[in-house]
Structure 1
Amino acid sequence: MAEAALIEVEGVDGSWWTLSGAGQGTEGVELGTTPVGLYDAPVTTIWNSSAFQIGASYGGANWLKRDVVFGVNIFETDSATWEAVDSAWRKAWAYDRDTKLTVTTEYGSRSLHLRLAQQPDFKSAKDPHLKRWGQVTMTCTAGLPWWVEEDVTASAVSTTDTTGAGASETMWLPVSNPTDQPLWLKWVVTAPGTWTLPDFSWADDENEDRVITLPVLAAGQDATVDTDPMEEMIVAADRSSLWARMNGVLFLHPVPAWTPETLVPVTVRGATPGAAVQVRCPRNWSRPWGLQ
């Protein structure tokens, strides 16, 4: 039997609203018809042409912020008047903080982080206090256009003392990317020790086995590594400047879209048994469902 997707909103104030699916309208708000901007992420493609070229050559894609417009029907409940529900719904939204819109299907949950792009619009032929019902149009923007799923993580713990000269231990962790977007891995490693992380190109080229060795970590310098070039690459727990000790070496390669689960090596030296590493695989999708 067909079953509607569960669509929920978590407000900036911590409130929770079920707009569609099981429990729809429990809090007095339900999704209206014909929402705009919820499907594929907005993009413009770049095309270049030289003098006398026939046609043009593809030059890349520019992913844009996502603009979303949708209506909600607001009505009174057994425990709250129409005005109280309408007021509470408005307090769930802000211009400078994110409200989370989550869509859940049989394949999982994905969330879009939205802020008001302009004031909510309300039009009513009669006083809504009399009808105890009204429709509000929400115009929102998602600075990050992706539907985001919870990170998938894997961890490993060393069992060997690698503090001796030339000693090391290699652990293998699974990574995968079932999404339609490139995936930039995140790593968390403990200190003390020296860690070598993969930066594979995932292609048959000179970088297919590329790895990067982090600076030597002293006690208290547990490190977080984010390979996304738009984020701070390496941060130490004691806030020391690990990035300055990277000597300009950068992570270059994301995990391509639709990469099946693959074991990748992580090597540690100069650590006692119990040194640990965690890999986090973000899940960013163009759509609220599908594309697996």
Structure 2
Amino acid sequence: MYSSPLFESAKIEIQGCDGSGTWHVHGIGQGSRGVYLGEGQVKGIYDAPTLTTWVSSAHQSGGAMKRRKRLVRDVSLGFHISDDRTSAKWGAIESAFRQCFDYREDDWDPDSTLARIDYISEQSGLRMLDVQLWEQPDFNPDVDPNVQGYSNPIIPLRAGQPFWYEEPKTSTWSTTGSSGSGFVEVENRTDVPMAIKWIGTRGNWVLPDFSWTGRKGHRVPGTDKLRGRDDSARKIIMPPIGTTQGGFTVDLDPKQLMVRDAHDTNLLGQMPVPGRYFQYVIPPYTPRTQLPVSVTNAPAGGAMVKLVMPQLWTRCQGMELAA
């Protein structure tokens, strides 16, 4: 079996979209189910793909970058599928492994997921990437693979969300009274801007929406460089959350409704200050910082708010800020 210096001390596993369990394809345990990665057939797993747009004025020497866009990530993985180390026949192994991947989530299964690549390294631990087929696999054997008991398909995969991710971190504040104030802790140790999510219970909430400034590892609330204004003490008054709403979620992920209740009803139109919405993500390499929160008119038993912090990375390992 192939062991490349590229993956030395790393382990790569495939989690099938069909619930077939774990396929160990590189590192300790590779090939235990008859499948392992091919030499020179692993492409697209490191830096997240990026497109930059540049402009140049009529009399300017050179140019200037105006925009950076993160693109979908295309990954190409070649696998050796062989029945020489298992009791199963090649056809059964190949068929089961092919079912690990699909073009989309199952239209009829509400609990379906995409296939996932797990990359486990000594340096960075477990990072994951959700992938799906974007075209048919390249598989054109010269001879009958049933006779050889071997094949080498190339699987073309695409990650619509191009960043490797870890399990999100959370920070919670609560009160047993009808009102109160306190702090939740935020931190972004990754190299990707963090679109945070707030999840809260009933009450009248005031949440922070701070701008940030400072060098990597030393970010603090301060003047926003891009907007040119200081929103380091900016707060958002939430709509009153009562029995009808049941709770609320604030999500800075642009693919989601920014403010919704527990029933996924859009609450943006009910914001007490029209046009005053959440604007600021948490910059990469932001150290632990206390964010103030407060609530009034909470029900009997008190109130709780949780800050969810996604952990996204441009690479499958590394990019941690050096101490």
> What is the alpha-carbon distance in structure 2 between the residues aligned to residue 278 and residue 239 of structure 1?
17
> What is the alpha-carbon distance in structure 1 between the residues aligned to residue 38 and residue 293 of structure 2?
49
> What is the alpha-carbon distance in structure 1 between the residues aligned to residue 188 and residue 266 of structure 2?
31
Q: Post-superposition shift, 1:244?
A: 1.6
Identity of aligned residues (%): 38
Alignment of 1:289 onto 2:295: no
118, 123, 138: which is aligned to 2:135?
118
One-letter amino acid of the counterpart of residue 255, structure 1: I
> What is the alpha-carbon distance in structure 1 between the residues aligned to residue 142 and residue 263 of structure 2?
60
> What is the alpha-carbon distance in structure 1 between the residues aligned to residue 115 and residue 311 of structure 2?
19
One-letter amino acid of the counterpart of residue 211, structure 2: S
Q: Post-superposition shift, 1:226?
A: 0.2
Alignment of 1:242 onto 2:267: yes
Alignment of 1:27 onto 2:33: yes
The match for 1:85 is 93
Which runs of 5 or more residues in structure 2 are unaligned?
1-6, 106-113, 214-221, 224-229
Write out per-residue CA displacement over residues 46-73 of structure 1, whole angstroms, 9 at most, x where no aligned residue.
1111111111112121111111111001
Match of 1:122, SS? coil
TM-score (norm 2): 0.84
**8 Å CA contact retained: 2:193, 2:284:** yes
Q: Post-superposition shift, 1:239?
A: 4.1
Alignment of 1:172 onto 2:183: yes
TM-score (norm 1): 0.92
The match for 1:53 is 60
Write out per-residue CA displacement over residues 201-254 of structure 1, whole angstroms, 9 at most, x where no aligned residue.
113322011111110001252111102233211221134442220233221111
235, 238, 256: which is aligned to 2:283?
256
One-letter amino acid of the counterpart of residue 214, structure 1: M
CA RMSD, Structure 1 to Structure 2 (Å)? 1.6
Report the CA distance shift for 1:95/1:239 in structure 2 as closer, same or farther (over 3 A). Answer: closer
> What is the alpha-carbon distance in structure 2 between the residues aligned to residue 3 and residue 63 of structure 1?
28
The match for 1:200 is 210
The match for 1:138 is 155
Alignment of 1:155 onto 2:172: yes
235, 241, 257: which is aligned to 1:211?
235
The match for 2:3 is none
Q: Post-superposition shift, 1:180?
A: 0.8
The match for 1:166 is none
Match of 1:73, SS? strand
Q: Post-superposition shift, 1:3?
A: 5.4
Alignment of 1:68 onto 2:75: yes
**8 Å CA contact retained: 1:70, 1:137:** yes
The match for 1:102 is 118
Report the CA distance shift for 1:240/1:136 in structure 2 as closer, same or farther (over 3 A). Answer: closer
One-letter amino acid of the counterpart of residue 218, structure 1: G
The match for 2:297 is 270
**8 Å CA contact retained: 2:33, 2:86:** no
Write out per-residue CA displacement over residues 165-215 of structure 1, whole angstroms, 9 at most, x where no aligned residue.
xxxx21211111111110011010001x01111111113322011111110
One-letter amino acid of the counterpart of residue 189, structure 1: G
Alignment of 1:43 onto 2:50: yes
One-letter amino acid of the counterpart of residue 127, structure 1: D
Q: Post-superposition shift, 1:19?
A: 1.0
Which runs of 5 or more residues in structure 1 are unaligned?
163-168
The match for 1:165 is none
Report the CA distance shift for 1:233/1:14 in structure 2 as closer, same or farther (over 3 A). Answer: same
One-letter amino acid of the counterpart of residue 232, structure 1: L
> What is the alpha-carbon distance in structure 1 between the residues aligned to residue 189 and residue 80 of structure 2?
36
